[in-house]
């Protein structure tokens, strides 16, 4: 099960109908479903069930919370005011861990991202969303993600944050595949299930690490003792 937990962690690092009303502050709930053509992997994924995420947003800041009985709790805070992000992980296997990152993308990072308009739309929760295909090159590999986004929701999260200015709007629907070391691909689908406009406290976006959390240390190359 460890490799499936690591996949969940990668995704974490790694989204009421308002009929086209522009929202700058509120909560979005997103359901993520994973599947595979491999029956054994599908059985493991079925044990985890669908993953539900809640994204609280205000201005250019957001906080995404995800809880799952097997993967534990993951919180990702994107604080654009301070150009930082914080991930808090409370997992049965690893315990309480955190990781801090800068969110500014370099020109070199942006060169590895290509965007193509699909030329179609999807209507999700009353929002007409425009389709894009994003191809991201990293460590000699290419990952392709299809997104349908709306510019009516003024929110940032860990998905559109990593695409810099090449991303237009909040992703209400995403689909992509992650290849496992054994060559078997896992398909993921994320879809917004609820959007609610409401007041969000600034404390939600605090970058202060809670007590009891230890820092995730980068892994050393295998050649280093």
Provide the mean pLDDT of the chain: 79
- Residue 5 pLDDT: 47
Structural domain spans, the chain: 2-211
Q: In the predicted model, what is the mean pLDDT of residues 99-113? A: 78
pLDDT at residue 138 tops 90: no
- pTM, 2 dp: 0.77
How many other β-carbons are positioned within 10 Å of the β-carbon of residue 218? 7
How many other β-carbons are positioned within 10 Å of the β-carbon of residue 124? 19
Pick the more confident residue, 50 or 58: 58
Q: Which CATH architecture has domain 2-211?
A: Clam (2.50)
How far is the C-alpha of 29 from the C-alpha of 195, rounded, in Å?
A: 7
């Amino acid at each position: 099960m460890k490799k499936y937990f690591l996949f969940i962690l990668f995704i974490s690092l790694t989204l009421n109908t308002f009929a086209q009303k522009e929202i700058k502050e509120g909560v979005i709930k997103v359901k993520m479903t994973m599947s595979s053509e491999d029956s054994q992997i599908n059985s493991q994924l079925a044990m985890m069930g669908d993953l539900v995420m809640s994204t609280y947003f205000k201005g250019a800041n957001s906080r995404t919370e995800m809880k799952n009985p097997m993967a534990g709790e993951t919180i990702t805070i994107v604080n654009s005011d301070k150009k930082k992000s914080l991930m808090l992980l409370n997992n049965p296997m690893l315990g309480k861990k955190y990781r801090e990152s800068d969110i500014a993308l370099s020109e070199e990072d942006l060169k590895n991202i290509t965007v193509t308009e699909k030329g179609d739309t999807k209507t999700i929760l009353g929002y007409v969303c425009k389709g894009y295909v994003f191809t991201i090159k990293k460590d000699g590999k290419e990952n392709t993600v299809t997104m349908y986004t709306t510019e009516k929701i003024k929110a940032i999260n860990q998905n559109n944050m990593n695409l810099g200015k090449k991303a237009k709007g909040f992703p209400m629907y995403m689909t992509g595949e992650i290849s496992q070391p054994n060559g078997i691909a896992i398909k993921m689908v994320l879809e917004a299930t609820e959007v609610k406009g409401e007041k969000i406290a600034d404390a939600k976006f605090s970058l202060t690490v809670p007590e009891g959390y230890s820092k995730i240390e980068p892994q050393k190359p295998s050649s280093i003792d």
